[in-house]
Structure 1
Amino acid sequence: MDIDAWVWWLIGAVGLGIPLVLTAMPEFGMFAVGAVAAAVVAALGGGIVAQVLVFVIVSVALTAVVRVIAGRQRADRAPQHATGIDALKGRQAIVLERVTGGGGRIKLAGEIWSARSFDHGFSYEPGEQVDVVDIDGATAVVM
């Protein structure tokens, strides 16, 4: 019994689909689709060179397209807004107790924070508005 080439390509596609399911590596899925495309070429009477070329072209093209789409999805999931401590940097605060290079208190985002001036030579008096340039532990660094 002689098995046609298209049947071998389908067996190969199934063989490539098994590791796809077991390992969740999408590359195996791209190769399986390439093998199905090669099976179609074989069923239409294409030679072995055409079959292998279609397999390679379809597999590589699908891998490239999926990689681009996955890259866009990954970039879209990147945080659009700063959260936590990063969200406080750049905000304005009101000085509650004199702030020097050694310390002081500010009201930042509705909460009272310990603070120190960015430049140790500067001080800020109560009621002044300051900008938060960094958060150092539980201390806001202001200027």
Structure 2
Amino acid sequence: MDSLWWFVGAMALGIVEVFTLDLTFAMLAGGALAGGAAALLGLPWWVCVIIACAVAALLLFTLRPWLLKSIRAKGELIETNTAALVGGIARTLDLVSETAGRVKLNGEVWSARTPDDAPVIEEGTEVTVLEIRGATAIVAPEKEA
């Protein structure tokens, strides 16, 4: 009967994974399946918990990064939020320096900065987004990026 709870937990984690598509909950579900298998073998509950945690940690830190890298290499992972903006083209609305500036990126006005020790970028210049830090785009002139 104890193993049933492990499998129900694995199923619940799998359902959450369907909505997140992050592979984190899938790895936790794998740990729960391992805990359920241990429970089926009649091991004490505390051993099942240790096995579940060990398998989940192993999957999270070994299999998940490899899977994400493979998915990104195939171009099957669609970047969203700020990750989708990195590498995009923007136009400066005023001077952009290490301390201040604004750009128009994807139809929105963003605060912008240049990387450390980079020259000032003139108004109206097309720039490439190198990174997003909070709500600030780190940009460089398109020819330099």
Scaled by the length of structure 2, the TM-score of the pair is: 0.46
TM-score (norm 1): 0.47
Structure with the bigger percentage of strand:
1
Name which one, 1 or 2, has greater alpha-carbon Rg.
Answer: 1
